[in-house]
Structure formats: C-alpha cells, structure tokens
Amino acid sequence: MARDHFAQITTPYGSVVTLTGLTKKEAAEVARDATSDRPVPRSDRPARGDAETRQCTNCQGRGGWMEKVETTTPSGSTVVTQKWVNCRPCKGMGTVTVRS
C-alpha cells in the first residue's frame, strides 16, 4: 500500500493544512469529509449563576484577528504571511461572561 498521496484543507480562516503520507483511500476520505456541509461543532459554555453572555469587545465577536508575520530568509528576502490569532479575553469564542 503506497503512502504517497496527500490532502490539503483550507480552514475557515484561510490557513491551508496539508496531510502527507496518506494512501489513496485515506486522501479521498479526507477530501470527502472536508467538502461536506456538516456544521462544525462549537462548544457553548453554559452561564453560571447571575452571569450574562455578551459579545467580546476586544475582537468584536469574531474570536480573534489576522496579524501580519514577517520572516527573513537566510538569503535576506522577507516573506510576509497572515496568521490567525485567538482573542485572549474570550478564548477565541467571540463571547465573554459578565457577572452582575
């Protein structure tokens, strides 16, 4: 069984994940699952006590933001990419719990 296939998945934030060393069947399964319209489960934390859930003001409810990352190669060139950064106050959820 040759493991010379790969699969690439683009995340909702635009990052590309490459899975290498797959068999033809595994690569097809990954591609099928990645293109399905299944909703991505998101864990909603129940509020405790007199807590109220509100949109995070730090990230405006997006859960984070894109930051520019510059890397210099050994030959002196500069490579600029975008990186998703999770918001710390809301832990990437987009909402914060406010206690009364």
Number of neighbouring beta carbons within 10 Å of residue 63: 19
**Whether the predicted pLDDT of 38 surpasses 80:** no
Is the same domain home to 86 and 62?
yes
Span 13-18, average pLDDT: 78
The mean-pLDDT minimum among 11-15, 49-53, 65-69, 77-81 falls in 49-53
Global pTM reads 0.42
CA distance 20 to 87: 30
* pLDDT (0 to 100) of residue 41: 57
CA distances from 75 to 7, 11, 44, 69 (A): 31, 31, 47, 18
* Number of domains making up the chain: 2
46/80 Cα distance (integer angstroms): 40
Helix (H) or strand (E) holding 81: strand 78-86
Q: Please check whether residues 51 and 99 belong to one and the same domain.
A: yes
42 lies in some domain: no
Indicate whether 64 belongs to any domain.
yes
| Average confidence score pLDDT of the chain | 81
Residue 89 lies in a domain: yes
- Residue 51's φ and ψ, nearest 5 degrees, are -80, 150
Residue 61 or residue 40, greater confidence: 61
